[in-house]
Chain A
Amino acid sequence: MGDNHNTHVKWVVGFLTMAAILGLIVKKVLVPEGFGTYGHYRAGAILDEFNRETRHMTNDSCLSCHPFIKEMHLEGIHRTVSCEFCHGPYGDHIRNGKKVATLPVKKGEEITALCLRCHNQIIRARPKESIKMITMPDHLENKKVQTDHNCDQCHNVHAPLMYVKQAREMMHMSSREDK
Protein backbone atom coordinates (compact mmCIF):
# COMPACT_ATOMS: atom_id res chain seq x y z
CA MET A 1 0.00 0.00 0.00
CA GLY A 2 1.99 2.94 1.40
CA ASP A 3 2.54 5.61 -1.32
CA ASN A 4 0.53 3.94 -4.04
CA HIS A 5 -2.79 5.60 -3.26
CA ASN A 6 -1.71 9.13 -4.45
CA THR A 7 0.25 8.24 -7.59
CA HIS A 8 -2.30 9.98 -9.82
CA VAL A 9 -1.92 13.22 -7.85
CA LYS A 10 1.83 13.09 -8.39
CA TRP A 11 1.24 12.55 -12.09
CA VAL A 12 -1.01 15.59 -12.31
CA VAL A 13 1.34 17.80 -10.31
CA GLY A 14 4.29 16.60 -12.36
CA PHE A 15 2.46 17.28 -15.61
CA LEU A 16 1.44 20.76 -14.54
CA THR A 17 4.98 21.59 -13.46
CA MET A 18 6.36 20.43 -16.77
CA ALA A 19 3.73 22.44 -18.62
CA ALA A 20 4.60 25.55 -16.62
CA ILE A 21 8.32 25.14 -17.28
CA LEU A 22 7.72 24.51 -20.95
CA GLY A 23 5.44 27.57 -21.06
CA LEU A 24 8.10 29.74 -19.47
CA ILE A 25 10.74 28.51 -21.90
CA VAL A 26 8.47 29.15 -24.88
CA LYS A 27 7.65 32.61 -23.54
CA LYS A 28 11.31 33.37 -23.05
CA VAL A 29 12.07 32.34 -26.61
CA LEU A 30 9.13 34.08 -28.26
CA VAL A 31 8.89 37.36 -26.36
CA PRO A 32 11.75 39.60 -27.42
CA GLU A 33 14.00 41.43 -25.01
CA GLY A 34 12.60 44.67 -23.68
CA PHE A 35 9.04 43.83 -24.68
CA GLY A 36 6.67 45.43 -22.19
CA THR A 37 9.22 47.75 -20.60
CA TYR A 38 7.28 50.82 -21.69
CA GLY A 39 4.15 49.26 -23.10
CA HIS A 40 2.98 46.51 -25.39
CA TYR A 41 6.00 46.79 -27.67
CA ARG A 42 9.72 46.16 -27.83
CA ALA A 43 11.62 48.96 -26.10
CA GLY A 44 14.53 48.61 -28.53
CA ALA A 45 12.25 49.55 -31.43
CA ILE A 46 12.43 53.18 -30.30
CA LEU A 47 16.19 53.01 -30.49
CA ASP A 48 16.05 51.36 -33.93
CA GLU A 49 13.96 54.25 -35.20
CA PHE A 50 16.22 56.75 -33.47
CA ASN A 51 19.30 55.28 -35.15
CA ARG A 52 17.89 55.56 -38.64
CA GLU A 53 20.31 57.31 -40.97
CA THR A 54 19.73 61.05 -41.38
CA ARG A 55 20.16 61.67 -45.08
CA HIS A 56 19.00 65.26 -45.33
CA MET A 57 20.70 68.04 -43.41
CA THR A 58 19.88 71.72 -43.48
CA ASN A 59 20.73 74.56 -45.85
CA ASP A 60 23.13 75.81 -43.19
CA SER A 61 25.09 72.58 -43.33
CA CYS A 62 25.45 72.83 -47.12
CA LEU A 63 26.29 76.52 -47.11
CA SER A 64 28.90 76.17 -44.38
CA CYS A 65 31.22 74.63 -47.01
CA HIS A 66 30.03 76.65 -50.02
CA PRO A 67 30.61 80.29 -49.03
CA PHE A 68 30.28 81.71 -52.53
CA ILE A 69 26.90 80.06 -53.08
CA LYS A 70 25.93 81.05 -49.55
CA GLU A 71 26.39 84.72 -50.30
CA MET A 72 24.16 84.51 -53.39
CA HIS A 73 21.59 82.11 -52.00
CA LEU A 74 20.88 84.00 -48.79
CA GLU A 75 20.68 87.35 -50.59
CA GLY A 76 18.10 86.24 -53.12
CA ILE A 77 14.42 85.43 -52.90
CA HIS A 78 15.22 81.73 -53.25
CA ARG A 79 16.70 81.68 -49.77
CA THR A 80 13.86 79.47 -48.56
CA VAL A 81 14.44 76.89 -51.29
CA SER A 82 16.23 73.83 -50.01
CA CYS A 83 19.65 73.04 -51.50
CA GLU A 84 18.84 69.35 -51.32
CA PHE A 85 15.67 69.65 -53.38
CA CYS A 86 17.63 70.48 -56.54
CA HIS A 87 20.98 68.85 -55.74
CA GLY A 88 20.00 65.74 -53.78
CA PRO A 89 20.46 64.70 -50.17
CA TYR A 90 23.49 65.62 -48.08
CA GLY A 91 23.95 61.94 -47.23
CA ASP A 92 24.88 61.18 -50.85
CA HIS A 93 27.62 63.81 -50.69
CA ILE A 94 29.11 63.67 -47.18
CA ARG A 95 29.51 60.65 -44.96
CA ASN A 96 31.12 60.83 -41.51
CA GLY A 97 32.36 64.32 -42.29
CA LYS A 98 34.09 63.22 -45.52
CA LYS A 99 33.08 63.92 -49.09
CA VAL A 100 32.15 60.65 -50.78
CA ALA A 101 30.59 61.83 -54.04
CA THR A 102 29.76 64.93 -56.02
CA LEU A 103 26.10 65.84 -56.24
CA PRO A 104 24.88 66.40 -59.79
CA VAL A 105 24.40 69.97 -60.96
CA LYS A 106 21.29 70.41 -63.07
CA LYS A 107 21.74 71.89 -66.52
CA GLY A 108 19.67 73.30 -69.36
CA GLU A 109 16.19 71.91 -69.66
CA GLU A 110 16.47 70.14 -66.33
CA ILE A 111 16.70 73.56 -64.75
CA THR A 112 13.66 74.86 -66.60
CA ALA A 113 11.73 71.77 -65.53
CA LEU A 114 12.73 72.36 -61.91
CA CYS A 115 11.72 76.04 -62.10
CA LEU A 116 8.35 75.18 -63.57
CA ARG A 117 7.54 72.77 -60.75
CA CYS A 118 6.82 75.87 -58.70
CA HIS A 119 6.42 78.78 -61.11
CA ASN A 120 4.10 77.33 -63.76
CA GLN A 121 0.99 79.51 -63.97
CA ILE A 122 -0.99 76.85 -65.85
CA ILE A 123 -1.22 74.91 -62.62
CA ARG A 124 -3.66 77.12 -60.83
CA ALA A 125 -4.05 76.67 -57.08
CA ARG A 126 -0.89 78.53 -56.29
CA PRO A 127 -1.39 81.32 -53.80
CA LYS A 128 -0.11 84.63 -55.20
CA GLU A 129 1.31 85.71 -51.85
CA SER A 130 3.58 82.66 -51.80
CA ILE A 131 5.14 82.73 -55.19
CA LYS A 132 5.46 84.54 -58.53
CA MET A 133 3.96 82.68 -61.48
CA ILE A 134 4.74 82.74 -65.20
CA THR A 135 3.35 81.08 -68.30
CA MET A 136 5.67 79.52 -70.82
CA PRO A 137 6.41 80.52 -73.52
CA ASP A 138 4.50 83.80 -72.94
CA HIS A 139 7.09 84.91 -70.40
CA LEU A 140 9.94 84.50 -72.91
CA GLU A 141 7.96 86.31 -75.59
CA ASN A 142 7.08 89.18 -73.24
CA LYS A 143 10.72 89.58 -72.29
CA LYS A 144 11.66 89.49 -76.00
CA VAL A 145 14.09 86.60 -75.71
CA GLN A 146 14.23 83.45 -77.80
CA THR A 147 11.64 80.89 -76.85
CA ASP A 148 14.21 78.10 -76.54
CA HIS A 149 15.99 79.90 -73.70
CA ASN A 150 16.28 78.15 -70.39
CA CYS A 151 15.48 79.98 -67.19
CA ASP A 152 19.07 80.12 -66.00
CA GLN A 153 20.10 82.14 -69.05
CA CYS A 154 18.51 85.21 -67.44
CA HIS A 155 18.02 84.16 -63.84
CA ASN A 156 20.66 83.00 -61.42
CA VAL A 157 19.02 79.94 -59.93
CA HIS A 158 20.23 80.79 -56.42
CA ALA A 159 19.26 84.46 -56.55
CA PRO A 160 16.74 84.74 -59.42
CA LEU A 161 16.66 88.51 -59.58
CA MET A 162 20.38 89.11 -59.19
CA TYR A 163 21.27 89.43 -62.88
CA VAL A 164 18.00 91.21 -63.62
CA LYS A 165 18.74 93.81 -60.95
CA GLN A 166 22.33 94.21 -62.09
CA ALA A 167 21.20 94.71 -65.69
CA ARG A 168 18.66 97.32 -64.61
CA GLU A 169 21.30 99.15 -62.64
CA MET A 170 23.68 99.16 -65.58
CA MET A 171 20.96 100.45 -67.86
CA HIS A 172 19.93 103.06 -65.29
CA MET A 173 16.45 101.68 -65.10
CA SER A 174 15.37 102.35 -61.58
CA SER A 175 11.87 100.98 -61.50
CA ARG A 176 10.26 97.87 -62.89
CA GLU A 177 8.77 98.60 -66.27
CA ASP A 178 7.31 95.15 -66.74
CA LYS A 179 3.91 94.08 -65.65
Chain B
Amino acid sequence: MDRIRAEINNDRRAFIKKVLNGTIAGSLLLVIPAGASEVAEQLSGMRAEQSIFTKKRFAFIVDVTRCIGCGSCCVADKLEYNVPDGNYRTWVERYIIDDEDNVYVDSPDGGLGGYVEPRKDIPHPVRDTFFVPKLCNMCKKPSCVQVCPVGATFQTEDGFVLIDKERCVGCGYCIQACPYSVRFLNPETKTADKCTWCYHRVRKGLLPACVNVCPVGARKFGDLDDHESEVYKILHLPHVVSVLKPGMGNKPALHYVGLRREVV
Protein backbone atom coordinates (compact mmCIF):
# COMPACT_ATOMS: atom_id res chain seq x y z
CA MET B 1 0.00 0.00 0.00
CA ASP B 2 2.70 2.43 1.03
CA ARG B 3 4.71 1.58 -2.05
CA ILE B 4 1.76 2.27 -4.31
CA ARG B 5 1.03 5.54 -2.57
CA ALA B 6 4.66 6.60 -2.92
CA GLU B 7 4.52 5.79 -6.60
CA ILE B 8 1.36 7.81 -7.10
CA ASN B 9 2.92 10.70 -5.23
CA ASN B 10 6.03 10.42 -7.34
CA ASP B 11 3.97 10.39 -10.46
CA ARG B 12 1.97 13.35 -9.31
CA ARG B 13 5.15 15.31 -8.58
CA ALA B 14 6.62 14.46 -11.98
CA PHE B 15 3.35 15.38 -13.63
CA ILE B 16 3.14 18.76 -11.91
CA LYS B 17 6.76 19.42 -12.73
CA LYS B 18 6.16 18.59 -16.37
CA VAL B 19 3.10 20.82 -16.58
CA LEU B 20 4.88 23.69 -14.89
CA ASN B 21 7.92 23.28 -17.11
CA GLY B 22 5.62 23.23 -20.10
CA THR B 23 3.79 26.40 -19.12
CA ILE B 24 6.94 28.26 -18.25
CA ALA B 25 8.74 27.12 -21.40
CA GLY B 26 5.63 28.00 -23.39
CA SER B 27 5.53 31.48 -21.97
CA LEU B 28 9.24 31.85 -22.72
CA LEU B 29 8.51 31.01 -26.33
CA LEU B 30 5.78 33.62 -26.45
CA VAL B 31 8.12 36.25 -25.14
CA ILE B 32 11.25 35.61 -27.18
CA PRO B 33 10.12 36.90 -30.60
CA ALA B 34 9.17 40.34 -29.28
CA GLY B 35 11.99 42.83 -29.53
CA ALA B 36 14.95 40.55 -29.71
CA SER B 37 14.45 38.69 -32.95
CA GLU B 38 15.43 41.48 -35.31
CA VAL B 39 18.88 41.67 -33.72
CA ALA B 40 21.55 39.10 -34.45
CA GLU B 41 22.25 36.74 -31.58
CA GLN B 42 25.37 37.70 -29.65
CA LEU B 43 25.40 34.49 -27.63
CA SER B 44 24.90 31.68 -30.09
CA GLY B 45 22.20 29.14 -29.40
CA MET B 46 20.48 31.10 -26.64
CA ARG B 47 17.24 31.65 -28.54
CA ALA B 48 16.95 27.91 -29.13
CA GLU B 49 17.09 27.29 -25.38
CA GLN B 50 13.57 26.54 -24.26
CA SER B 51 14.00 24.95 -20.88
CA ILE B 52 13.78 27.01 -17.74
CA PHE B 53 17.48 26.45 -17.05
CA THR B 54 20.01 26.58 -19.85
CA LYS B 55 22.60 23.86 -20.14
CA LYS B 56 25.38 26.41 -20.44
CA ARG B 57 28.11 27.35 -17.98
CA PHE B 58 28.42 31.10 -18.10
CA ALA B 59 31.54 32.97 -17.11
CA PHE B 60 32.22 36.66 -16.78
CA ILE B 61 35.77 37.91 -17.11
CA VAL B 62 37.03 41.41 -16.39
CA ASP B 63 40.38 42.32 -17.90
CA VAL B 64 41.90 44.89 -15.56
CA THR B 65 44.82 45.45 -17.94
CA ARG B 66 42.43 46.78 -20.59
CA CYS B 67 39.97 48.90 -18.64
CA ILE B 68 40.33 52.62 -19.41
CA GLY B 69 37.83 53.77 -16.78
CA CYS B 70 35.53 55.49 -19.28
CA GLY B 71 32.46 54.42 -17.36
CA SER B 72 30.48 53.28 -20.43
CA CYS B 73 29.52 50.16 -18.52
CA CYS B 74 28.19 52.18 -15.57
CA VAL B 75 26.13 54.40 -17.86
CA ALA B 76 24.68 51.44 -19.76
CA ASP B 77 23.89 49.65 -16.52
CA LYS B 78 22.12 52.63 -15.00
CA LEU B 79 20.02 53.19 -18.11
CA GLU B 80 19.22 49.52 -18.68
CA TYR B 81 17.79 49.14 -15.18
CA ASN B 82 16.89 52.75 -14.30
CA VAL B 83 19.01 52.38 -11.19
CA PRO B 84 18.15 55.11 -8.65
CA ASP B 85 20.85 57.76 -8.14
CA GLY B 86 23.46 56.84 -5.59
CA ASN B 87 23.06 53.09 -6.10
CA TYR B 88 25.22 51.00 -8.38
CA ARG B 89 24.74 47.54 -9.79
CA THR B 90 28.21 47.85 -11.29
CA TRP B 91 30.89 50.43 -10.70
CA VAL B 92 34.51 51.16 -11.59
CA GLU B 93 37.16 51.75 -8.93
CA ARG B 94 40.40 53.61 -9.50
CA TYR B 95 43.48 52.26 -7.76
CA ILE B 96 46.60 54.35 -7.34
CA ILE B 97 49.75 52.94 -5.75
CA ASP B 98 52.55 55.32 -4.87
CA ASP B 99 56.29 54.76 -4.51
CA GLU B 100 55.84 54.11 -0.78
CA ASP B 101 53.38 51.33 -1.62
CA ASN B 102 50.45 53.25 -0.22
CA VAL B 103 47.22 52.33 -1.98
CA TYR B 104 44.58 54.95 -2.79
CA VAL B 105 41.17 53.86 -4.02
CA ASP B 106 38.35 56.08 -5.18
CA SER B 107 35.22 55.74 -7.23
CA PRO B 108 33.47 59.10 -7.56
CA ASP B 109 29.78 58.41 -8.27
CA GLY B 110 30.72 54.82 -9.04
CA GLY B 111 32.59 55.95 -12.15
CA LEU B 112 29.27 56.92 -13.72
CA GLY B 113 30.60 60.26 -14.92
CA GLY B 114 33.93 58.78 -15.99
CA TYR B 115 37.24 59.84 -14.49
CA VAL B 116 37.78 63.43 -15.51
CA GLU B 117 40.04 64.68 -12.72
CA PRO B 118 43.36 63.26 -11.56
CA ARG B 119 43.77 62.71 -7.84
CA LYS B 120 45.68 65.60 -6.34
CA ASP B 121 46.09 64.39 -2.76
CA ILE B 122 48.88 61.89 -3.30
CA PRO B 123 52.12 63.01 -1.61
CA HIS B 124 54.53 60.59 -3.29
CA PRO B 125 55.23 59.87 -6.96
CA VAL B 126 52.75 57.40 -8.39
CA ARG B 127 54.07 53.95 -9.23
CA ASP B 128 51.03 52.25 -10.67
CA THR B 129 47.45 53.17 -11.50
CA PHE B 130 44.62 51.07 -12.88
CA PHE B 131 40.86 50.68 -12.94
CA VAL B 132 38.90 47.76 -11.51
CA PRO B 133 35.29 47.28 -12.62
CA LYS B 134 33.13 45.58 -9.99
CA LEU B 135 29.87 43.70 -10.35
CA CYS B 136 28.09 40.65 -8.96
CA ASN B 137 30.51 37.75 -8.57
CA MET B 138 27.76 35.15 -9.15
CA CYS B 139 29.26 32.92 -6.49
CA LYS B 140 28.88 29.19 -6.87
CA LYS B 141 28.32 29.13 -3.10
CA PRO B 142 26.45 32.39 -2.57
CA SER B 143 26.22 33.52 1.03
CA CYS B 144 23.38 35.90 0.14
CA VAL B 145 21.17 32.96 -0.85
CA GLN B 146 22.04 31.12 2.33
CA VAL B 147 20.97 33.94 4.65
CA CYS B 148 17.72 34.99 2.94
CA PRO B 149 14.91 34.17 5.38
CA VAL B 150 12.09 34.18 2.82
CA GLY B 151 13.64 32.50 -0.21
CA ALA B 152 13.68 35.73 -2.18
CA THR B 153 17.28 35.35 -3.29
CA PHE B 154 18.08 32.18 -5.13
CA GLN B 155 20.50 30.52 -7.49
CA THR B 156 19.28 29.11 -10.79
CA GLU B 157 20.68 25.80 -11.99
CA ASP B 158 22.62 27.65 -14.68
CA GLY B 159 24.40 29.75 -12.07
CA PHE B 160 22.56 33.07 -11.93
CA VAL B 161 21.92 34.46 -8.47
CA LEU B 162 18.69 36.42 -8.77
CA ILE B 163 16.27 38.31 -6.52
CA ASP B 164 12.51 37.83 -6.35
CA LYS B 165 11.17 41.35 -5.88
CA GLU B 166 7.77 40.01 -4.88
CA ARG B 167 9.18 37.90 -2.06
CA CYS B 168 11.90 40.19 -0.72
CA VAL B 169 10.97 41.84 2.56
CA GLY B 170 13.96 44.18 2.50
CA CYS B 171 15.53 42.91 5.70
CA GLY B 172 19.02 43.48 4.34
CA TYR B 173 20.65 40.26 5.59
CA CYS B 174 21.91 39.51 2.09
CA ILE B 175 23.39 42.98 1.79
CA GLN B 176 25.48 42.32 4.88
CA ALA B 177 26.31 38.78 3.86
CA CYS B 178 27.73 39.65 0.44
CA PRO B 179 31.53 39.75 0.75
CA TYR B 180 31.75 41.90 -2.38
CA SER B 181 29.22 44.58 -1.35
CA VAL B 182 27.39 44.31 -4.65
CA ARG B 183 23.95 44.43 -3.06
CA PHE B 184 21.96 47.48 -2.09
CA LEU B 185 18.47 48.29 -0.92
CA ASN B 186 16.64 49.81 -3.86
CA PRO B 187 14.99 52.94 -2.47
CA GLU B 188 12.16 52.71 -5.01
CA THR B 189 11.11 49.10 -4.56
CA LYS B 190 12.41 48.84 -0.97
CA THR B 191 13.86 45.46 -1.87
CA ALA B 192 17.38 44.15 -2.25
CA ASP B 193 18.84 44.71 -5.70
CA LYS B 194 22.03 43.82 -7.48
CA CYS B 195 23.66 43.01 -10.80
CA THR B 196 22.11 39.98 -12.54
CA TRP B 197 24.68 39.64 -15.32
CA CYS B 198 21.72 40.88 -17.36
CA TYR B 199 19.83 37.61 -17.11
CA HIS B 200 17.00 38.99 -19.26
CA ARG B 201 19.40 39.92 -22.04
CA VAL B 202 21.46 36.74 -21.87
CA ARG B 203 18.34 34.57 -22.15
CA LYS B 204 17.43 36.47 -25.29
CA GLY B 205 20.85 35.89 -26.82
CA LEU B 206 22.25 39.34 -26.05
CA LEU B 207 25.40 40.12 -24.12
CA PRO B 208 25.07 41.85 -20.75
CA ALA B 209 24.62 45.60 -21.31
CA CYS B 210 28.03 46.46 -19.83
CA VAL B 211 29.84 43.87 -21.98
CA ASN B 212 28.01 45.11 -25.05
CA VAL B 213 29.12 48.73 -24.60
CA CYS B 214 32.71 48.24 -23.41
CA PRO B 215 34.82 49.87 -26.14
CA VAL B 216 38.07 48.09 -25.25
CA GLY B 217 36.81 44.58 -24.49
CA ALA B 218 37.66 44.77 -20.81
CA ARG B 219 34.47 42.88 -19.95
CA LYS B 220 33.88 39.49 -21.49
CA PHE B 221 30.99 37.11 -21.16
CA GLY B 222 30.47 33.67 -22.61
CA ASP B 223 29.85 29.98 -22.27
CA LEU B 224 32.61 27.79 -20.86
CA ASP B 225 31.25 24.74 -22.64
CA ASP B 226 31.88 26.46 -25.94
CA HIS B 227 35.58 25.84 -26.43
CA GLU B 228 35.78 28.51 -29.11
CA SER B 229 34.50 31.23 -26.78
CA GLU B 230 36.83 33.97 -25.61
CA VAL B 231 36.14 33.24 -21.95
CA TYR B 232 37.05 29.58 -22.38
CA LYS B 233 40.31 30.51 -24.09
CA ILE B 234 41.24 33.03 -21.41
CA LEU B 235 40.58 30.63 -18.56
CA HIS B 236 42.37 27.73 -20.25
CA LEU B 237 45.47 29.52 -21.44
CA PRO B 238 48.25 30.72 -19.13
CA HIS B 239 46.86 34.13 -18.19
CA VAL B 240 47.12 35.74 -14.77
CA VAL B 241 43.56 34.98 -13.72
CA SER B 242 42.22 35.35 -10.21
CA VAL B 243 39.04 35.99 -8.25
CA LEU B 244 38.28 38.52 -5.54
CA LYS B 245 38.56 37.37 -1.90
CA PRO B 246 39.07 33.66 -2.59
CA GLY B 247 39.45 33.13 1.15
CA MET B 248 35.75 33.81 1.69
CA GLY B 249 35.02 30.46 0.08
CA ASN B 250 32.17 31.79 -2.06
CA LYS B 251 33.74 30.47 -5.25
CA PRO B 252 32.96 33.43 -7.53
CA ALA B 253 32.25 32.77 -11.21
CA LEU B 254 33.52 36.27 -11.98
CA HIS B 255 37.21 36.14 -12.88
CA TYR B 256 39.71 38.94 -13.28
CA VAL B 257 42.63 39.02 -15.69
CA GLY B 258 45.71 40.86 -14.47
CA LEU B 259 44.31 41.61 -11.03
CA ARG B 260 46.90 43.17 -8.70
CA ARG B 261 47.38 41.89 -5.19
CA GLU B 262 46.25 45.22 -3.74
CA VAL B 263 42.69 44.90 -5.03
CA VAL B 264 40.09 43.91 -2.48
Contacts and interface: CB of A to CB of B under 8 A. Distances in A.
Interface of A: 32, 34-35, 37-43, 45-58, 60-61, 64, 78, 80-82, 84-85, 88-89, 96-97, 113, 116-118, 120, 122-127, 130-131
Contacts of B61: none
Given A54-B35, A56-B79, A127-B65, 6 more contacts: A45-B163, A49-B199, A51-B200, A57-B206, A123-B115, A130-B68
B40 A43 contact: no
B126 A124 contact: yes
Contacts of A122: 117-118
Nearest to B75: A85
A161 B34 CA distance: 38
A32 to B, nearest CB: 7
Contact of A126 (B17, B68, B201): B68
Contacts of A96: 34-35
A125 B67 CA distance: 9
Contact of A56 (B20, B71, B203, B213): B213
Contacts of B90: none
B151 A130 contact: no
Contact of B76 (A40, A82, A127): A82
B52 A56 contact: no
A37 to B, nearest CB: 6
Contacts, number: 158
Interface of B: 16-17, 20, 24, 27-28, 31, 34-36, 38-40, 42, 52-53, 65-66, 68-72, 75-76, 79-80, 94-96, 114-118, 126, 129-131, 151-157, 162-167, 196, 199-201, 203-204, 206-207, 209, 212-217
A85 B164 contact: no
Contact of B154 (A39, A60, A88, A126): A39
Given A58-B40, A117-B71, A41 B200 contact: no
B229 to A, nearest CB: 18
A101 B62 CA distance: 34
Contact of B70 (A38, A55, A89, A118): A118
B199 A50 contact: yes
A49 B69 contact: no
Given A84-B213, A85-B75, A46 B52 contact: yes
A34 B20 contact: yes
Contact of B116 (A35, A55, A123, A124): A123
A50 B118 contact: no
A168 to B, nearest CB: 25
B69 A32 contact: no
7 contacts: A42-B167, A50-B203, A54-B201, A82-B213, A84-B76, A117-B71, A131-B68
Contacts of B204: 54
Nearest to B162: A49
Contacts of A43: 20, 24, 52
A41 B152 contact: yes
A42 B212 contact: no
B216 A80 contact: yes
A46 B68 contact: no
B200 A40 contact: no
B39 A61 contact: yes
A5 B117 CA distance: 90
Contacts of B167: 32, 41-42, 45
A48 B212 contact: no
Contact of A32 (B39, B52, B96, B166): B166
Nearest to A114: B114
A52 B200 contact: yes
Contacts of B35: 54, 96
B87 to A, nearest CB: 17
B164 A60 contact: no
B162 A56 contact: no
B31 A127 contact: no
B80 A49 contact: no
